[in-house]
Structure formats: C-alpha cells, structure tokens
Amino acid sequence: FICVVQHLEGLVVQRLFELVKANLAGTGYKMCQQISNAITRHSTVIRNVLKHYNRLAPLQSPPCDILKFSDVALYTWLGEFKLLKSSWQEILTKPWVSKSNREVAGKYFKIVHVRKEIEHLNVEISYLQWWIEDEDAHLLNTAISLEVNQPALSCEIRHLHDKRVHINNIHCAHLQAIYAIPSFSSVFVPESSND
C-alpha cells in the first residue's frame, strides 16, 4: 500500500509541476503542446494507480479514504496534497497535519513577507522620488546650458522636460498619497546627485 501511495504521490507532484510549467510565461507553443500531452498521459496513469490505491485503502488499519480522480486533479498546490498523511500513521500526530495550523502558519509567513516588502517599498519610494527630482533638474539644467550654442537641441530637451514633468506629476501625486499613509516610514532618503 505504501508503495502505491508513494507512486501516486510522485505522479501527482509531477503533474503539479507540469501544470506550473504549462502556465509559465515564455513557454513556446510546441513546449505547451508537449506538456499538454504529458499531462494527458499522466492523467491516465494517475487514474490507473488511483484504482489500485482505492482497492487497498479500505484494507488498511485504520481504513484510508477512497479518493476520486476529480479530487486529485484539483490539487494545485503541494500544501493541499494529503495522500502523504494517510500513508504513514505517525505523521497524523504532527501539528502541521491540522489544516487550521497550516493556514495559520501560511498567514503568519505572509505577514512576515508583507513586512519585509513594506521595508523594501519604503526604500524604493525614496529612490523614485529622488530619481524624479534628479531627472527634472538634469533636463532643465541641460536645456539651459544649451540655449546659447545649440538652441534647437535646447528646445527639444525642453519639450522632453515638459512631457516628463507631466508624467512625473502623476507619479508625485501618487507618492504624496503614499506619504500621507500613517504607517509610511521611509528609512532612507537618498541625496540628489550633482550631475
């Protein structure tokens, strides 16, 4: 029975990875066709192994659940894959077997990740503000310095500057809204460069 469960687990995990690969950006048409054919073949093999599993499951002590192919086909994440817990009885005593414990742990790690992401965004927001101000000053100073010797180029740079100011004003409005958020705490404000 354990060999059948391990074989079924391997097939389902392989199918999960093929599904992920099929949905990756940059996967060409031929590769998608090959992956689709492999998924179809594996689905047939999974059905056969699942029949064997379902014949042996009620004979176990305690009896294991009978699985339908539709249940197995719905697994889209390794964390949802529950065959492992029915194959080794001592695993049932582990705290991570409980769905609520797994969900709490998942939410905890999402919160940790979000806090790190907020730290990174605080830095990136400061860099964006600095870049906007630096680009504005650079284009304006360049246009002014070229007015006497190259007025046509200076005029083009001023047009570019005007376009960029229009776009950057939208960005600055969003940045001001971010600065108004009570939890915003920029940890680093870069100094403007002198070029």
Give the integer Cα–Cα distance in Å for 48 and 84.
Answer: 18
Position with higher pLDDT, 33 vs 153: 153
Mean pLDDT of all residues belonging to the chain: 78
Q: Given this model, what pLDDT does residue 158 score? A: 93
Considering only CA atoms, give the Rg of the chain. 29
Q: What are the distances in angstroms from CA 104 to CA 101, 112, 115?
A: 5, 12, 17
**CA–CA distance, 32 with 21 (Å, rounded to integer):** 8
CB 80 within 8 A of CB 106: no
Does 70 or 117 have the greater pLDDT score? Answer: 117
Q: What is the mean pLDDT of residues 81-94?
A: 58
Query: What are the pLDDT digits (tens) for 130-183?
Result: 999 999 999 999 999 999 999 999 999 999 999 999 999 999 999 888 888 887
pTM for the predicted model, two decimal places: 0.46
Contact 57, 66 (CB under 8 A): yes
Structure tokens at 107: 């939410």
190 vs 69, residue with greater confidence:
69
Rounding to the nearest 10 degrees, give the CA dihedral for residues 84, 85, 91, 92: 180
Tell me the DSSP string of 87-122. Answer: H-GGGGGSGGGSHHHHHHHHHHHHHHHHHHHHHHHH
Domain boundaries, the chain: 2-94, 106-179
